[in-house]
Amino acid sequence: MEVHRSEQEIIRRENLNKIIAVGIDPFPAEMYPYNTTAKEIHANFDPAKKNFQEIIIAGRLMQKRIMGKASFAEILDTTGRIQIYITRDEICPTEDKTLYNDVFKKYLDIGDFIGIKGYAFVTQTGTLSIHVTELKVLSKSLRPLPIVKKDADGKVHDAFTDPEQRYRMRYVDLVVNPQVKEVFIKRSKILSSMRAFFDAKGWLEVETPVLQRIHGGAAARPFATHHNTLDMPIFLRIANELYLKRLIVGGFEGVYEIGKMFRNEGMDRTHNPEFTSMEIYVAYKDYIWMMEMVEQCLEYIALEVNGKTIVEYGGKVIDFAGPYPRMSMYESIEKYTGVNISEMEEEEMRKLCKKLHIEIDPTMGRGKLIDEIFGAKVEANLIQPTYITDYPLEMTPLAKKHRSKEGLVERFELFVNGKEIANAYSELNDPIDQRQRFEDQLTLAKRGDDEAMVLDEDFLKSLEFGMPPTSGLGIGMDRLTMLLTGQHSIQDVLFFPQMKAETK
RNA sequence: GAUCGGUUAGCUCAGCUGGUAGAGCAACGCCCUUUUAAGGCGUGGGCCCUGGGUUCGAGCCCCAGACUGGUCACCA
């Protein structure tokens, strides 16, 4: 197959060969013993103290400004950029000036990895720089990087902004757009601080099957695959809830899992086919206890990640400091529509939906209708973290019946910026009730509800052995990350969002 | 899934009522040499997303498709 290469790629390959021709390995195998970073030098260099006098650093060459026997350049390491100052006679102390005249000046390109030894100093114009005494080629770059530059008028050249290119070539995006790296560093911190919060409570991080015979625990279309040796259909999990509950049956006090779920559904700004969920189950607790736990946890994470509980998101200021207001689903609907639907029958509710211009179809039961009203009239108003509690029973087959309110379950969802962030129950641990709920789901499925849940016989068996009262919680980690990092697309908090194959 | 937009040089984008391509940055060459996007002069670089069609002639108009972004619908 003929490979088309651009002029710039061809030149870089020629430069590669020229480096080899002068006896330098452009891809050396041995480690490079750097002893500091650009960030450390910027933070701690003090000319009076004469520190940073024996520096070794490594990174990509990002700019070259050549002026005869002396040149300035910039290198980008894992922490940031720093200017370097190179003189010919210092890196080439003998008669042989090849390393400077040819290798540095001609054969090294933007994006190449180099290692340098030297000492820190401040130039006449006041720029902190490294005076180079030794230069080593660490790795050649064969493709041109788009180098973002800002000119004297503040005009930006070469910005690498096309979302498609950024997602498809995230490696380039990360090199060229430093703020992207910050988002992912924060994402990592969100995960680690959440783990720290749970671990401090003594709860156990566990792993449960990703490959499942029965895709239980949620209502969603799964990815289907096949196990060759077992000659058996297998699904990628859409949830791990039923497995985590089995572990509570087994006697753990608290278990949580942070992992990928897979749903074979549409993709948009807030949905990727694989996404990261956190689910936690704690024995002998209920959903009221869980609300306090979630407030503390999110406040803790916000502080760890951003140093404050306030986050600016799309011009709104959101405060994760608890406690969060609590409103029952009926109360919230009454607040935003003026109608009390708590005693309303299904038919009356259909009329209400028509009046409110909410589209419905005949397969929807009373619970689904309530959910539709809520989605259309309430959700978007819940900007600050708000708990909505006590959902209709038929929407929630895995939650315990409400202790005092007929027809409802002990469930809450946490809404932030008009979106659901967390979902929690007092878990249903009555195996007889649970079987009935699964059967009701089957009835709904026959009525045409394609989101109805699948019955898991082994899970029911585990409940029959006895599960303590338990509270469970799920959090969509990608969406939480979006909020805490100010990103508006899930693709901006995933390194490699799902993309169609390029056809070119 | 519906709808509107985008796709032209390595990157970001122009391209008029249709006359087979331009800029800035990047690259390459020369000049100058302690610069701050260093400067000056010059050069090269294009399957104009793909396939059809209309036309003497298509980057531009028409049809079909691909990828992609926004909005709406559904879901976490």
Q: What is the DSSP string of A206-234?
A: ----SEESS--SS-SPPPEEEETTTTEEE
Strand B–CB A489 distance below 7 A: yes
CATH architecture label of A7-145: Beta Barrel (2.40)
pLDDT value for A346: 83
Express each pLDDT in A135-169 by its tens digit: 999 999 999 888 777 665 556 666 788 888 889 88
Choice between A369 and A243, residue whose per-residue pLDDT is larger? A243
CA of A268 to C1' of B5 (A): 17
To the nearest whole percent, how much of chain A has pLDDT over 70?
96
Q: Is the pLDDT of residue A504 over 50?
A: no
Beta-bridged to residue A327, according to DSSP, are A388
Asked whether residue A397, judged by its CB, lies under 7 Å from any atom of the DNA or RNA strand B, the reply is no
Quick one: average pLDDT of A337-358?
85
Nucleotides of B under 7 A from a protein CB: 1, 6, 9-13, 24-29, 32-38, 44-45, 47, 49, 66-76
Number of C-beta neighbours around residue A159 at 10 A = 13
pLDDT, averaged across chain A: 89
- What pLDDT, on the 0 to 100 scale, is given for residue A351? 85
pLDDT tens, residue by residue, A313-323: 888 899 999 89
Within 7 Å: CB of A263 and strand B? yes
Of the ranges A113-122, A372-381, A489-498, which one carries the lowest mean pLDDT score? A372-381
List the A141 CA – B29 C1' distance (angstroms).
22
- What's the fold here for domain A179-325+384-492? BirA Bifunctional Protein; domain 2 (3.30.930)
Domains of chain A, residue spans: 7-145, 179-325+384-492
Which amino acid belongs to residue A286?
D
Mean local confidence (pLDDT), A264-271: 86
Alpha helices in A227-307 (DSSP H): 241-249, 287-306
**Protein CA at A110 to nucleotide C1' at B16, angstroms:** 38
**Mean pLDDT on A288-311:** 96
Determine if strand B comes within 7 Å of the CB of A110: yes
The residue-averaged pLDDT of A451-464 equals 87
Give residue-wise pLDDT tens across range A39-55.
Answer: 999 988 887 777 888 89
Residue bearing the bigger pLDDT, A109 or A148 = A109
**What is the CB-side half-sphere exposure of residue A273 using CA atoms within 13 A?**
11
Q: Please report which confidence band the pLDDT of residue A88 belongs to, taking 50, 70 and 90 as the band edges.
A: confident
